[in-house]
């Protein structure tokens, strides 16, 4: 493992003044009712970036009231889809005009690579907005062929006020994955970004207003999950909640939805995704996929390929390649264009990852490389590879959400399928093989919502993303992402002007 300087005195990009730190309610930036603030921390240094308004139940009440007023009496749900699309199309143009500043915010707030944010994350967010703007005028029901003498059709109408709860690992991507289909459907919304990463969400709220999205349609409440998040999920005037985060919190979201007003829920939760590499695989490609799948975004990825199963014929060769690549992986300041891995999101996550590494050692897995924090400021951890993992080990069962890869050897296709499915999660899986029959058999046998063959984490606007089992339910991306924000209404009338009983 190589390391570049993680000293914040090394300057690669000018950090702008933080412009937006308040709550965004009904088209205005406002202080929290309580006047409270909290610190958002730069994971490169562990030091404060800014103090941000801390919203709680009273602020959520105000935001929901604004969203409800905008839904019940405002223009947004009543606009033709083409009119919503025209406004939505202005939003990504503004994002692209401000791409550098937005990428900076996600780098200092989340430790994300600046180069990746500027070239990939922010442009993809603009693409997502344009995709759903294009869908806004294509939402329609169907005419039904009834078995009796009736004319009937369905309408697909916006569900109402949506609560959107965003995780910290992809603050831009997850914001747009949720906001874009909600806007296209004609919903109004209250967005709660993760307390670790509020800055870009507030900037997007500012750009939404500039684009012409009416006041009250998009509201942003910074705050903590136990207060602001809980207030959204239990609010009786919120009609749907879309949550991305841990399975533990996902349970609480469902409970709050059930005990309040039985609101609709979509959950994208944890993962412990297997990458299965067969003997006929190209070893160099397989090693690159395994490293990318685990270390991308410093392992803070719900689909991280943290369980790598390798068929015995190429196991030793592949292990050597992986160790070589991990040792060459560059960790350091995410503004440095040479760096491949920045800091973990915060001290809590940093300590959690290190504790799992210790668990791996105690449970008998073999540490091949890494396993230590970097010296100096910030929350940097070496890329870490264990071999000889077993399904009962914590490092094989739990979502670590860090740069930790576990290796195991298998003999047969049947063994690979069994071990891949030996998890409570079902978000994603990867298969590396040249045999189409093996690829087909394994892809149909693994219980996961996203299967990648000879690629990994290949996401696109058109491709629905969601999980099985304790990885949740509902879809992001694709036209399926609209479903949570729409209700189907059936309209029936007699064909003839005669009594129908």
Pairing of the two strands 218-220 and 28-30:
unpaired
How far apart are the C-alpha atoms of 424 and 195, rounded to whole Å? 27
Assigned token pair, 59: 């602020």
Q: Which helix (H) or strand (E) holds 216?
A: none
Q: Which of 39, 134, 153, 2 is nearest to 81 (CA)?
A: 134
Above 80 in pLDDT, residue 449? yes
Q: What are the pLDDT digits (tens) for 188-227? A: 999 999 999 999 999 999 999 999 999 999 999 999 999 9
Q: Which of 215, 249, 214, 209 is nearest to 232 (CA)?
A: 249
How far apart are the C-alpha atoms of 145 and 283, rounded to whole Å? 55
How far apart are the C-alpha atoms of 247 and 234, rounded to whole Å? 18
How far apart are the C-alpha atoms of 162 and 336, rounded to whole Å? 38
Average pLDDT over residues 129-156: 96
Average pLDDT over residues 433-443: 98
Question: Beta-carbon neighbour count of residue 354 at 10 Å?
Answer: 19
pLDDT for res 480:
97
Question: Where residue 13 falls among pLDDT bands split at 50, 70, 90?
Answer: confident
pLDDT for res 496:
81
pLDDT for res 3:
60
Question: Beta-carbon neighbour count of residue 382 at 10 Å?
Answer: 21
Above 80 in pLDDT, residue 500? no
Percent of the chain that is helix, strand, coil (3-state, to 5): 40, 20, 40
Same topology between domain 10-269+471-488 and domain 274-453: no
pTM of the model: 0.95
Side by side, the strands of the sheet bearing 366-369 are 366-369, 384-387, 404-410, 307-311, 274-277, 428-432, 450-453
DSSP codes, 158-174: E-SEEEEE--SSSHHHH
Assigned token pair, 432: 């590396």
Q: What percent of the chain has pLDDT over 70?
A: 97
Question: Where residue 1 falls among pLDDT bands split at 50, 70, 90?
Answer: low
Class of domain 10-269+471-488: alpha beta
Q: What are the pLDDT digits (tens) for 291-325? A: 999 999 999 999 999 999 999 999 999 999 999 99
Assigned token pair, 406: 């576990």
Is the separation of the CB atoms in 185 and 139 below 8 Å? yes
Residues with active-site annotation: 268
User: Does domain 274-453 match CATH 3.40.50.300?
Assistant: no
Quote the mean pLDDT of the chain: 96
Question: Where residue 33 falls among pLDDT bands split at 50, 70, 90?
Answer: very high
Average pLDDT over residues 76-97: 98
Average pLDDT over residues 177-188: 98
Print burial letters for 89-101: b (CB count within 10 Å at least 16), e (below 16). Answer: ebbbebbeebbee
List residues bridging with 48 in a β-sheet. 41
CA atoms within 13 A on the CB side of 133: 20
Average pLDDT over residues 278-299: 98
pLDDT for res 11:
59
Residue ranges per structural domain of the chain: 10-269+471-488, 274-453
pLDDT for res 14:
81
Above 90 in pLDDT, residue 140? yes
Above 60 in pLDDT, residue 7? no
């Amino acid at each position: 493992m190589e390391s570049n300087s993680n000293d914040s005195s090394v300057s690669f990009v000018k950090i702008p003044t933080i412009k937006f730190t308040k709550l965004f309610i009904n088209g205005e930036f406002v202080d929290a009712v309580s006047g409270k603030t909290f610190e958002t921390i730069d994971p490169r240094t562990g030091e404060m970036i800014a103090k941000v308004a801390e919203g709680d139940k009273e602020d959520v009440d105000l935001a929901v009231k604004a969203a409800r007023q905008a839904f019940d009496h405002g223009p947004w749900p009543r606009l033709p889809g083409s009119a919503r699309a025209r406004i939505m199309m202005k939003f990504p143009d503004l994002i692209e005009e401000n791409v550098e500043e937005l990428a900076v915010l996600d780098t200092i707030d989340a430790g994300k690579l600046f180069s990746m944010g500027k070239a990939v994350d922010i442009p993809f967010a603009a693409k997502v907005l344009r995709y759903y703007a294009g869908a806004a005028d294509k939402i329609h029901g169907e005419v039904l062929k009834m078995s009796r003498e009736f004319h009937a059709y369905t309408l697909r109408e916006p569900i109402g006020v949506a609560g959107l709860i965003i995780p910290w690992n992809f603050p831009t991507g997850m914001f747009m994955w949720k906001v874009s289909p909600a806007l296209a459907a004609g919903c109004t919304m209250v967005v709660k970004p993760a307390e670790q990463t509020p800055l870009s969400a507030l900037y997007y709220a500012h750009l939404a207003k500039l684009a012409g999205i009416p006041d009250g349609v998009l509201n942003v409440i910074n705050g903590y999950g136990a207060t602001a998040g809980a207030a959204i999920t239990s609010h009786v005037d919120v009609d749907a909640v879309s949550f991305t985060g841990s399975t533990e919190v996902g349970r609480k979201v469902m409970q709050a939805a059930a005990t309040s007003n039985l609101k609709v829920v979509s959950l994208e939760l944890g993962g412990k995704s297997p990458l299965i590499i067969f003997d006929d695989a190209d070893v160099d490609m397989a090693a690159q996929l395994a490293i990318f799948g685990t270390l991308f975004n410093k392992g803070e990825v719900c689909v991280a390929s943290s369980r790598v199963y390798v068929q015995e014929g190429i196991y030793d060769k592949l292990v050597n390649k992986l160790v070589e690549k991990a040792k060459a992986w560059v960790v350091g300041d995410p503004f440095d264009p040479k760096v491949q891995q920045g800091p973990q999101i915060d001290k809590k996550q940093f300590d959690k990852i290190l504790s799992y590494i210790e668990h791996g050692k105690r449970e008998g897995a073999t540490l091949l490389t890494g396993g230590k924090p970097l010296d100096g400021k910030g929350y940097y951890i070496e890329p870490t590879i264990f071999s000889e993992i077993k399904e009962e080990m914590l490092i094989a069962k739990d979502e670590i959400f860090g740069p930790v890869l576990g290796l195991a050897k298998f003999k047969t296709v049947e063994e690979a399928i069994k071990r891949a499915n030996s998890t409570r999660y079902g978000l994603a899986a990867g298969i590396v093989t040249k045999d189409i029959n093996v690829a087909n058999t394994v892809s149909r046998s693994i219980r996961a919502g996203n299967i990648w063959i000879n690629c990994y984490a290949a996401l696109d606007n058109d491709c629905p993303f969601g999980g099985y089992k304790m990885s949740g339910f509902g879809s992001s991306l694709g036209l399926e992402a609209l479903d949570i924000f729409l209700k189907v209404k059936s309209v029936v009338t007699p064909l003839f002007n005669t009594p129908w009983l």
